[in-house]
Chain A
Amino acid sequence: MLSLRTVNKGSTEPRRKPWAPALAALLLLCVAARAGAETAPRRIVTLMPSLGELAADLLQTDLNRIVGISEYTDYPPGLKKAASIGRYDRFNIESVVALKPDLVLASQDGNPKDPVLHLRELGLNVLVVRTETFDEIKESMRLTGTALGFASRGAQMASQFEQGLSRIRDRAAKRTGRPRVLLQIGDEPLVVAGGKSFLNESLTTIGALNVYSDSGTRYPKPSVEDVIQRKPEIILILALGRQSGKSFEAAVRRWKDFQSIPAVRNGKVFVIEADALLRPTLRLLEGLSILEKKVFDAE
């Protein structure tokens, strides 16, 4: 994965993808080119709703420095005045360039790679963060803080996040037994959270066991037969975004035929509404407590 940063304090991180070295070299060039010219950016464009949120949290009152946001950036409401650059997964390069940003915030885990590289080729200052693990989320808070000129706020936010996590971990440590959970994120075809997704880390943190933690991919598409074999005690269907409630009820009903699954037999198939669970910001902590309640209140 990319570990791109345009701030000049690089730290070494484990290389996970074969093209990391090439990109690291690119990154070093960018760092070298920009080191020294470190003034607080005045025109910021964020390419993900979560990054808009993160930047707004860091800027606090100075929201008009964010001049462009991606569609569906709905929090905080003050951001809605900024120009839209399109949806995060197919943002419009021309709209971004036309805003003349002095900092573009992008995510490795949502924005398509080539257009982000294109922005950088056009000479824009682009910070790409990774948010797939809790450590990366903390790092993204620190990096974004530094890039926005609020390094201490960023560090503070990261430690706030860490404290929240350790409170949840403490609660988990006091519980005995780890319920086997299937976290379903798509229906027809069935898509679940695998071992390499950050949702796996969420389940582990609250003290549950993801029945697909051994999966090599992030979002495997198992057969129902395979799910039956893994005997989940709780099935959670993640209600994402703006789909209608009805489609989730249908997803719950589809499990009814498989009484050999403990979760189905014991009536523990739930829909969980937790957009915050997908926001790699401080709001993730809210998402985690919703997840925690669903899993353990059902016990």
Chain B
Amino acid sequence: MLNKKALHAYIFGLCAWALAIILSLKFGATTDADIAVIVQLRLPRVLLASAVGIGLSVAGASLQALFSNPLCEPYTLGISSGAALGAVFGASLGFHWIFGGLTGTAFAGALLFTALLFVVAHRPGVTTLSLLLAGVMLGFLGSSLVALWMALSDTNGIQGALLWLLGDLSRARMGGALFTLAAAFALTLALWLRWRELDALLMGEEGALTLGIAVGKVRASLIFTIALLVAICVSASGMIGFIGLVIPHFVRRLVGSLHLQLLPLCAIWGAAALTAADVTARVLARPYDLPVGIVTALVGAPLFLWILFSRREAS
């Protein structure tokens, strides 16, 4: 079952993750950090980066299978726009309450959009493509509402919310990080247990039907699980791009498209990548934190191109 390639991918992935964690604990805004700084500030951040890295890449891989579309990423379905709307709304009214660095109103917004999407997915006769388009439209709706809200209100508090939405792990607290990590593990496990259905969906809607999969039902429940995972990630860290797109493609390059290996490897490599990106973002512009999304995009875009073209040449 576990071929040599996959074994190597696990070993290298775990080593990369461990290395990223060590570097993250060692380096930061200050050069001579004592144990208190490491435990109170850097450790929660490492845990949160790992959790969000796991969540985003697993969600990305599952969505790409679900929609048989390699361009899908966690933010394609518009759930993040719901989170953005919630965060901005809450910030301007002054009650985006925070538990351990998590934004409650962002989570509520993401859940609301998840529910809308779920309703759409349950409509009889809805195709995978129209569901995808519905998600994209939900995204547009959310971001235009954010823009409307911004235009109409005092921008003072909102700016912070918007900056955070660009991807920010600096708010990590131990409680919130552990919660996010537990949720990411649990939802990843829930998706992993359905690897057979995800594999079947790779063959497209009709292909899956011929394999005896009740596509409508499976799709709706998978979407709900994935959306919950994305909602948790976004309300913990804003929108960090590229991890959810690039990591699944990278791992597919290593072990192929079957989800039994793909999902756990995505979790490991996603955690490693975001942890490494975060420590880079913290150190590059000391003492300022660069938005981690800049680093993931700067590294992710060339990596994606490399994956794309090396695959072409191989075939």
Where the two chains meet, the residues of A that have a C-beta atom closer than 8 Å to any C-beta of B are: 17-19, 84-87, 90, 92-95, 97-98, 112-115, 117-118, 121-122, 217-219
Contact = CB atoms under 8 A, between A and B. Distances in A.
Interface residues of B, number: 30
B94 A19 contact: yes
Interface string B1-40: 0000000000000000000000000001110111011001
Contacts of B154: 217-219
A98 B37 contact: yes
Contacts of A114: 98, 101, 160, 171
A121 B94 contact: no
Nearest to B164: A114
A19 B170 contact: no
B70 to A, nearest CB: 36
A114 B28 CA distance: 20
B287 interface: yes
Contacts of B306: none
Interface of B: 28-30, 32-34, 36-37, 40-42, 93-95, 97-98, 101, 153-157, 160, 163, 170-171, 173, 287-289
17 contacts: A18-B94, A19-B97, A84-B287, A90-B288, A93-B41, A93-B170, A94-B29, A94-B287, A95-B30, A95-B287, A98-B29, A98-B34, A112-B160, A114-B98, A115-B170, A118-B171, A218-B156
Nearest to B175: A121
By Cβ-Cβ distance, the 7 closest A-B pairs, closest first, are: A94-B29, A98-B30, A92-B287, A217-B154, A92-B29, A112-B160, A17-B94
A18 B93 contact: yes
B34 to A, nearest CB: 7
Dominant secondary structure at the B interface: loop
B40 A122 contact: yes
B256 to A, nearest CB: 41
Nearest to A94: B29
Given A18-B95, A118-B171, A219 B155 contact: yes
Contact of B173 (A18, A86, A121): A121
Nearest to B155: A219
Given A18-B93, A94-B28, A121-B173, A85 B287 contact: yes
Given A86-B287, A117-B98, A97 B173 contact: no
Contacts of A219: 154-156
A229 B42 CA distance: 55
Contacts of A115: 170-171
B27 to A, nearest CB: 11
Contacts of B155: 219
Contact of B33 (A18, A98, A117, A217): A98
Contacts of A118: 101, 171, 173
Nearest to B286: A92
